[in-house]
Chains A and B, each alone.
Chain A
Amino acid sequence: MSFWRMPLDAEEQGVTVGEVHIIAYRCKGCRYCIEFCPNNVLAESEEFNEKGYHPPYAAKDGKCVNCNFCETICPEFAIFVTEGKPGNLQPADVLHDVKPGRRLQRKRRYGE
């Protein structure tokens, strides 16, 4: 069954949020962290580092769940994550197939 309501106890739920730290000069651009991050938090940045690679950056900040996988997988020890302040549950965290509201849909379609 697909649910549409935000659960009523959502406010009681703390969400683990990780803070992503990138040691840019160590990155050799293998993209492992970007590919394997389960929440697609990371993306390639525009900047170059000393070695001439594009190091990653936390594109979807706040969506990191502190699973530490990027840290484990990075061959150059160029990324690590620390636990940040717990966040609030957002609809997108719970309702995994949320549809935007009618007004938002219209806005997206006609660019109002």
Chain B
Amino acid sequence: MKKTEENDNAAAVNEEPRIGVYVCHCGLNIGGSVDCEAVALSAAKLDNVVIADHQLYTCSEPGQERIKQDIAEHGLNRIVVAACSPRMHEPTFRSCVQDAGLNKYMLEMANIREHCSWVHLHDKAAGTEKSKDLVRMAVARARYLEPQEEIDVPVIKKALVIGGGVAGIQAALDLADSGYEVVLVEKEPSIGGRMAQIDKTFPTMDCSICILAPKMAEVGRHPNITLMSLTEVTNIGGYIGNFSVTLRHKAKYVNEDCSACSDCMKACPQHAPNEFDVGLATRKAIYIPFAQAVPSQYVIDMDLCLNKNGVRVCEKCVEACERKCINFEDHDREETFDVGTIIVCTGVDVFDAAQIPQYQYKKAPNVITSLEFERLINAGGPTHGQLIRPSDHRIPKSVAFVQCVGSRSRKTNPYCSNVCCMNTIKDALLIKEHWPETEIKVFYIDIRAFGKGFEDLFQRSKMEGVQFIQGLPGEIVQRKNGNLRMIGELMMLHELYDIEVEMVILSVGLKPSIGSDVVRKYLTLSRTSGGFFMVAHPKLRPVDTATRGVFLAGCSEGPKDIKEAVTQASAAAARANIIMHRGMVTVEAITARVDESMCTGCGLCAKVCPYQAIQINDRKKAVVIDAACSGCGTCSAECKFDAITMRHFTDRQILAQIDAFTEFEPEKKILAFCCNWCSYAGADFAGISRMQYAPQVRIIRTMCSGRVAQNFIEHAFARGVGVVLLSGCHIGDCHYIDANTFAEKRYKRMRRLMKQNGLDNNRMQLVWVSAAEGQKFQEKINSLVEKLKTVTPEEIKNSMRFFSEREKQRKEKKQKTRAGK
């Protein structure tokens, strides 16, 4: 482990800045739309810049070597790399400068790819000008960079796995086998997830529960795994290595002595549809969801049981149970413990087909979903494996499958659910296996048989006589005898069809499970537009999240089949293992520091800190608890006396960026403050997706929108900026609990202030952009450019005068208070 070379770098603070600037072409990615040479030349003219050059690939081995050489040769003490997003390569260049003996916080990046070349592909002149600005701002900030020392924190060698589907089971087993303590939390009475409900699995046609049950049983008896079923997550706090988790165990009313003999169940008079069988079978108030359930233990559904509100009316099950394991005094319990890493495996629910009324689901009894089909065809299901029509319990002679129900449509979900095509082919073959005479028609748009062994299965189904008809039905009409007319158009031939079948199976898509919401809330994970969790990098970090120490596996990350879910689970377990094996993590040095001589003890900072990381001590001074501070910077923005310094995002650094930004034609530009986790990432996403927008905007990154002090914005207006945009995560999604609400407050205060003083307050704007909302960012910038056109020179002049005056007054007032003390 490398310790930061604090001592070597202590001098750097007082040293004259000697800056090296490296502009990267990134092949043609940047070089194609930005004149990198011109950018380097303009950088070379800036104060303190000792050397400025451009390279084809700065991140390559020779590129990095060059930086290291220059540091040694020219005594550089600060490095600016103008290249891709710091979210991509900051770690790379940090270790590069560290290797050359600099503190890694002495690196600054200018994002001229995601925020420039990729979004202004066809305007090289504007792209080049913008890059020059971005580099100038980075150099301005670099002048004030200071070396920081990171602290190592111990990692608790215990993991939490949320969700007991096949992914959660695999992740838990892998970690437990590596010797770590694992807590597996499942909200339902049993683990197993969707895979336990499926009959056979494509492409191998294995019996699903036969291959899953042994794994489930292993989870149940593994000495390193604590299985908590019927349990929900109610809070998660803390940070990598030291998460604090609170769970609620719902009352089961039956204890672990239960031998699952089913005597109680036979005695119980109360019936309900069994959720596990998608309502196709009945269960009792005291029940076990399915025979192979783990834990193998009955539970009582108190909403259904006759004993409500504490009145003991019925005791039939109690009387029937010989082992005396039923206890009506049981109640919900909360439990809190600490873990080092978390793996999220909250899986999927199926699309509610009733949302497409023309398919008659929930109206025509013989229209069923693919999940219902799995229970029907399963020997352990309600019909013991007989595929019968619900209306008359007869085996149908003709069956139609409808594909993409709730997938690939703008009206429902735009994404492909990934498993439904193969699932239908599997289902069709299963029907042919039992009832070869059945006529099977599959109505589809495209068949996606992309995986290993998939195409073979597809061809086999065709050989068995399954008919594939391209063109989804526009309407399904029920006839009196329960048969269904499929009416639609053949895609290729533009001919209408009207085909009668005895039963319809809707191939429903997958959507994020409802259980994922609560997890998202506490871990503040970003989601894609489809609602699935977002990984840190889609290619290179496919199971990491933006929150360190939290990993994803299975369908919570996106629709996928079992094999992929299991692969991801093992990958996530391996990633968690790396952290726990080391036993230590370094946390970023971005925390708040109080300057006692400036602090008046007013306590404002303590009030706004979302983590209660600031306390006012008995000497009336604010004290930051380093381990609890997450680095949002809200306290620093709130402090009226400049007493709080946010390390690596100091006032001085940010004001220097604003000054550099406003050096040329500020009235023609937009200044955007973006938070690291959502809106900056959203702007990156716009870049990755090549969403073109107007080039007038320059972005300043802060960790949280709560860091943006009102005086930054006022300073920008005082210097003549045309429009200021404040942006962050959506309310409720803030990476720092609720620090963005303070950004909202300041925004409203700014708007009010401008209005009261006769200024155009539409020049101050706010937008919440999630990491997936590149398009929203694009649209916002484009609309702001329209606004920019309406800002008159008088307006700019007035606001410059007004805000300069305010700045002056503020400074005087501050001096007075300090002198008065």
Contacts and interface: CB of A to CB of B under 8 A. Distances in A.
Interface of A: 1, 3-5, 7-10, 13, 15-16, 36-39, 65-67, 69, 89, 93-96
Specify the main secondary structure of chain B where it touches its partner.
loop
Interface string B276-290: 011111100000000
B308 A5 contact: no
A1 to B, nearest CB: 7
Given A5-B279, A38-B306, A94-B282, A16 B273 contact: no
Contact of B308 (A38, A93, A94, A96): A38
Contacts of B316: 67
A3 B390 CA distance: 14
22 contacts: A4-B279, A5-B279, A5-B280, A7-B274, A7-B279, A8-B280, A8-B281, A8-B376, A8-B382, A8-B390, A10-B282, A15-B271, A16-B269, A38-B313, A38-B314, A66-B269, A67-B269, A67-B316, A69-B313, A89-B271, A89-B282, A94-B271
Contact of A94 (B273, B277, B311, B365): B273
A8 B389 CA distance: 10
A65 B285 CA distance: 13
Nearest to B349: A1
Contacts of B271: 13, 15, 89, 93-94
B767 interface: no
Contact of B314 (A5, A10, A69): A69
Given A1-B279, A37-B313, A67-B316, 15 more contacts: A4-B279, A5-B365, A5-B390, A7-B281, A8-B388, A8-B390, A9-B280, A9-B281, A9-B382, A36-B311, A38-B308, A38-B313, A65-B269, A67-B306, A94-B273
B305 to A, nearest CB: 9
Contact of B282 (A4, A9, A37): A9
A32 to B, nearest CB: 11
What's the interface size class on B, roughly? 20 to 34
A1 B514 CA distance: 11
Contacts of B307: 38
B382 A67 contact: no
Q: Majority SS of interface residues in chain A?
A: loop
A65 B306 contact: yes
Contact of A8 (B270, B304, B306, B383): B383
A65 B280 contact: no
Nearest to A5: B279
Contacts of B278: 3
Contacts of A93: 271
A65 B388 contact: no
Nearest to B280: A8
A96 B308 CA distance: 15
A94 to B, nearest CB: 5
Most A Cβ at <10 Å: residue of B304, B308, B362: B362
A14 B280 CA distance: 17
A38 B313 CA distance: 7
B273 A7 contact: yes
B206 interface: no
Interface string B379-423: 000110000101001000000000000000000000000000000
